[in-house]
Structure 1
Amino acid sequence: MTATAEHTKDSPITGDILTVAREQVLDRGVGLSEDQVLQVLRLGDDRLDDLLALAHDVRMKWCGPEVEVEGIVSVKTGGCPEDCHFCSQSGRFPTPVRSAWLDIPGLVKAARETADSGATEFCIVAAVRGPDARLLAQVRDGIKAIRESGNDIQIACSLGMLTQEQVDELVAMGVHRYNHNLETAKSHFPQVVTTHSWEERWDTLRMVREAGMEVCSGGIIGMGETDEQRAEFAVQLADLDPHEVPMNFLIPQPGTPYEKYEPIEGKDALRVVAAFRLALPRTMLRFAGGRELTLGDLGAEKGMLGGVNAIIVGNYLTNLGRPAQQDIDMLADLKMPIKALSDSL
């Protein structure tokens, strides 16, 4: 499956937005414009079930029934020099998280446990502005050890902002997908991060794409952004044309500037997920951090029937998720097949 950036920037909004979306997105595969996404985000709760049903139909038509399952592990935790206001791993905030490294045997063990859970994707994550020589050596040795252990799980990385030389190194290591979240709309980004720019993140993703790796980029919902900025973000992601978009919901972290933020309402979260599906009809949309807090167990099922076609199982770096088997069982109950490893290669 490949993503597409095909969407309408200036589509006239005529008639009921769900009727328009059914013809434009479901029938023709053309993502909604920014104004259209905003109309979806402003639909009342009485239209939510219809919206979710349409988003599910779009997902089934343009992506198919399979769900990609992924596990993630932090190879370097805490002590990050950046000031992302949502993140407990920033060294600038008085959070409980302390800097730590995962050794190679621990990385191999985590990859094996991820594969045993039924996942086909394993993402190595580090809390850094960008990788230094030590981190790249750790990743290189870790990937080599994972392969030598007989584990052929797909390996992705999330190591911050990259230079062209570092992009080329990751390609040579066999990393097939790179995650670097834009986090939020360009207009809202300066309120979320001040130590680097939205454009710097975009430049890393551009280099990743040009090098042939799959692009994974999403963000966090619930960081004080407006509906207008959520619509802006959806269309900016469509312009990026990522293979995958992780959908996170803010988990307020002690010690961070956002520690007193209230999690968004479950219905609002589902509305956002469905709206992003209608903006990105062919893109892998992945449930990620915060879904348990925001949606609860039943909400996860509703989201899987509202446009989502990928999921992270287990824990989320410094936050606990629900047991991986619970999600695997949920997919079985929903009769949603897990994407086979051979289909990901």
Structure 2
Amino acid sequence: MTQAPVDPRTSGADPDAHDPRDILAIAREQVLERGEPLGRDQVLEVLHLADDRLPELLELAHDVRMRWCGPEVEVEGIISLKTGGCPEDCHFCSQSGLFASPVRSAWIDIPSLVEAAKQTAKTGATEFCIVAAVRGPDKRLLSQVAAGIEAIRNEVDIQIACSLGMLTQEQVDQLKDMGVHRYNHNLETARSHFPNVVTTHTWEERWDTLRMVRDAGMEVCCGGILGMGESLEQRAEFAADLASLEPDEVPLNFLNPRPGTPFGDLDVLPASEALKSVAAFRLALPRTILRFAGGREITLGDLGAKQGILGGINAVIVGNYLTTLGRPAEDDLDLLTDLSMPIKALNDSI
């Protein structure tokens, strides 16, 4: 005879009690209380949670962020020193010279670079990242970067980061000597999915650059883009990859399909899935700067931005991105004020 299921409302059991085997109950004790990150399989469980548990998940991720990172939000601006004409075939990127996209190659001059740094500093940002669309920097680019950094330092009090592609050891040392505070080089996606995203270089080549940057003493900024056709298993794999790298910052981008690129026809990630991923990455990286980056506007909208900042995010890029428009900086700053979240001060970033 089959026994009828027990109804907790009449059995004397607490209907609000958490199942100790439930992944959020496990995460609450493991991550929130002990500060130990979720592993790959645990992250996958989080990603598989039903949408009706999203509010509970976001609340937990926010609690983790507040406990292990604090309330401050780091604000950053970015500028493209060299746009377009890149020889690599990153399938999401309109700056590749291999695709029929509308982006054309262009450089900005040093006075424009300094002015962009000034405008970024006026928002309260502590980080200004100089980006170039290249496989890796040549002598001309490094010379331009060095001149730009010197000019910025003469006029603006701000930390300078760079994102210049893959590096040699000599180039790492040069950037360190220039005073670059943080280097960004995204792994983009899980190692197993990478060949579906890029074919002109390998995931391992990117990893080697990150290792050299870390060994040189610069901060490591490494994240990627969600929604590039990866499975939930690969998204969990990616979170575990990043956790093993132990980066200082992880920028989370969401694919904004660009016309003319191989990924131009992919669907935008559903907002609930994007928010679930944000929270899952926070639980895998409890002490890391987790930054809202490109694609959040089209994926999440204004409400999603608030939910993300209350769901594990503790850093934002303000203003526009490299080839796409972002939210007005004032909107993000007003949101942080409304949420009583202070902008991280420059002296706290050094």
Q: Give the TM interval when normalised to the shorter protein.
A: over 0.9
Equivalenced residues, count: 332
3-state SS in 2 of match to 1:195: coil
Query: CA deviation digits over 1:17-40, x for unaligned, max 9?
Result: 000000000011111111100000
Partner of 1:329: 334
Partner of 1:309: 314
Partner of 2:288: 283
Counterpart Cα distance in 2 of 1:171 and 1:152: 18
Partner of 1:75: 81
Counterpart Cα distance in 2 of 1:339 and 1:290: 23
Counterpart Cα distance in 1 of 2:277 and 2:72: 21
Partner of 1:29: 35
Which among 181, 186, 190 is matched to residue 186 of structure 2? 181
Q: CA deviation at 1:14?
A: 6.5
Q: CA deviation at 1:322?
A: 1.1
Counterpart Cα distance in 1 of 2:327 and 2:250: 21
The structure number with the bigger radius of gyration is 2
Counterpart Cα distance in 2 of 1:90 and 1:328: 32
Determine if the alignment matches structure 1 residue 16 to structure 2 residue 34: no
Q: 5 Å matches for 1:70-149?
A: 70-149=76-155
Query: CA deviation digits over 1:66-107, x for unaligned, max 9?
Result: 000000000000000000000000000000000000100000
Structure 1, unaligned runs of 5 or more: 1-12
Determine if the alignment matches structure 1 residue 158 to structure 2 residue 163: yes
Q: CA deviation at 1:43?
A: 0.3
Residue 97 of structure 1 aligns with an amino acid whose one-letter code is V
Counterpart Cα distance in 2 of 1:263 and 1:90: 21
Counterpart Cα distance in 2 of 1:51 and 1:162: 38
Query: CA deviation digits over 1:130-163, x for unaligned, max 9?
Result: 00000000000001111112x1100000000000
Q: CA deviation at 1:170?
A: 0.3
3-state SS in 2 of match to 1:72: strand
Normalised by the size of structure 1, how large is the TM-score? 0.96
Structure 2, unaligned runs of 5 or more: 1-18
Which among 198, 201, 214 is matched to residue 196 of structure 1? 201
Counterpart Cα distance in 1 of 2:123 and 2:106: 25
Residue 143 of structure 1 aligns with an amino acid whose one-letter code is I
Which among 221, 234, 245 is matched to residue 229 of structure 1? 234
Counterpart Cα distance in 2 of 1:14 and 1:95: 51
Query: CA deviation digits over 1:156-184, x for unaligned, max 9?
Result: 00000000000000001000100000000
Partner of 2:6: none
Residue 47 of structure 2 aligns with an amino acid whose one-letter code is L
Q: 5 Å matches for 1:250-269?
A: 250-269=255-274
3-state SS in 2 of match to 1:76: strand
Q: CA deviation at 1:117?
A: 1.4
3-state SS in 1 of match to 2:58: helix
Q: 5 Å matches for 1:204-223?
A: 204-223=209-228
Change (3 A) 1:43 1:226: same
3-state SS in 2 of match to 1:251: coil
Partner of 2:56: 50
Which among 270, 274, 277 is matched to residue 279 of structure 2? 274
Counterpart Cα distance in 1 of 2:47 and 2:349: 32
Question: Over aligned residue pairs, what C-alpha RMSD do you find?
Answer: 0.8
Query: CA deviation digits over 1:187-211, x for unaligned, max 9?
Result: 0000000000000000000000000
Partner of 1:39: 45
Query: Identity percentage over the alignment?
Result: 74
Counterpart Cα distance in 1 of 2:259 and 2:23: 40
